[in-house]
Amino acid sequence: MHRTRRWRAQRLVASALVLLPMSGCATSWLTIEIPGFGNVQGIWLWRLSEESGLYEREGRVEISPAYQSPDGEQVDYVESCANGPIGKAHPAALARSASDPTDVTLEVVYVSCDGLGGTYKVSAYNQLGESGLSTTMVSF
pLDDT digits over 65-107, tens only?
A: 999 999 999 999 999 987 778 878 999 999 999 999 999 999 8
Per-residue confidence (pLDDT) for residue 76, from 0 to 100: 96
CATH number of 2-139: 2.60.40
Distance CA 45, CA 121 (A): 6
Per-residue confidence (pLDDT) for residue 4, from 0 to 100: 41
The widest CA-to-CA distance across the chain, in whole angstroms, is: 47
**Mean pLDDT (the chain, rounded):** 81
95, 104 contact by CB (below 8 A): yes
Q: Whole-prediction pTM value? A: 0.77
CA distances from 126 to 30, 59, 61, 114 (A): 20, 16, 12, 25
pLDDT surpassing 60 at residue 53: yes
Strands (E), 22-83: 27-34, 42-48, 55-63, 67-69, 72-81
